[in-house]
């Protein structure tokens, strides 16, 4: 009998857990560990941000995995011990035979000074709610969307695009925003836009 431990109850961890459950017989244990008690389906944050969906509708308690024969442990994984095949969660050592790591990414808005104060991000429920509130208050003007990374670019670089209230792309500022640099260009109204 094998103990399979999956760190992360996001899309990656849940797909891995369900696929493994389908392939392994019931004698093998599968445990998902997450620091959050709920799974948030991130693509649906778009509907929270435009105010058409309540955050509760895009989140599911991870404890429901139990119904599928998958155990859930709520807690933060603080350390891995590959030699001893254990993960440390809230002071407890959880043993494993097989380990799947799916912890996603850690948001670091502070890497770009001013970003957190300048706007909201679409990657969290709170951020999406903030965008919905900002849209409700919006009476006109220019909206700036910062794309922090594109697939073909280094994660530390980004581009600024300006769009108008009808979601029509006005133009693009081609200067990359370098999060590592202390003198990177700040988003400014007067920056020249290419039409």
SS3 75: coil
Q: How far is CA 91 from CA 78, 99, 106, in A?
A: 8, 18, 22
Sort 33 into a burial class: Cβ within 10 Å, 0-12 / 13-18 / 19+. Answer: buried
Binding of ligand FAD at residue 109 (CB under 6 A)? no
Judged by CB, which is closer to ligand FAD: 91, or 141?
91
Among all chains, which residue has been given the structure tokens 């890497």?
111
Residue 156 CA to residue 2 CA, distance in Å, equals 40
Between the alpha carbon of residue 86 and those of residues 21, 78, 89, 94, 137, the distances in Å are 21, 11, 10, 5, 50
What distance in Å separates the CA atoms of residue 99 and residue 64, rounded to the nearest whole number?
Answer: 21
- Closest distance between ligand FAD and the C-beta of residue 102, in Å? 5
Among 29, 35, 98, 125, binds ligand FAD (CB under 6 A): 35
**Residue number, nearest CB to ligand FAD:** 10
Is the CB of 122 or the CB of 156 nearer to ligand FAD?
122
Residue 30 vs 45, nearer CB to ligand FAD: 45
Determine, following the binding rule CB under 6 A, whether residue 181 of this chain makes contact with ligand FAD.
Answer: no
CB of 173 to ligand FAD, least distance (A): 22
- Under the binding rule (CB under 6 A), the answer on residue 43 touching ligand FAD is yes
**What is the distance between the alpha carbons of residues 142 and 139, in angstroms, rounded to a whole number?**
10
* Out of 4, 5, 45, 112, the residue judged to bind ligand FAD by CB under 6 A: 45
Instruction: Return residues touching ligand FAD (CB under 6 A).
Output: 7-13, 33-36, 42-43, 45-46, 76-77, 102-104, 122-123
């Amino acid at each position: 009998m094998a103990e399979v431990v999956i760190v992360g109850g996001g899309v990656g961890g849940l797909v891995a857990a369900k696929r493994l459950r389908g392939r392994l017989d019931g004698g093998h244990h599968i445990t998902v560990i997450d620091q959050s008690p709920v799974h948030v389906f991130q693509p649906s944050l778009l509907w929270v941000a435009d105010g058409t969906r309540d955050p509760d509708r895009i989140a599911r308690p991870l404890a429901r995995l139990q119904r599928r024969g998958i155990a859930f442990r709520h807690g933060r994984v603080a350390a891995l011990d590959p030699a001893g095949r254990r993960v440390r969660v809230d002071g407890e050592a959880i043993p494993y035979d097989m380990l799947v790591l799916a912890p996603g990414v850690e948001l670091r808005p502070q890497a770009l000074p001013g970003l957190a104060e300048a706007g909201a991000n679409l990657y969290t429920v709170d951020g999406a709610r903030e965008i919905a509130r900002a849209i409700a208050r919006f009476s006109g003007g220019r909206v700036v969307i910062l794309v922090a990374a594109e697939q073909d670019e280094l994660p530390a670089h980004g581009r600024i695009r300006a769009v108008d209230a009808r979601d029509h792309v006005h133009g693009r500022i081609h200067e990359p925003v370098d999060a590592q640099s202390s003198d990177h260009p700040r988003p400014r109204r007067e920056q020249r836009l290419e039409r």
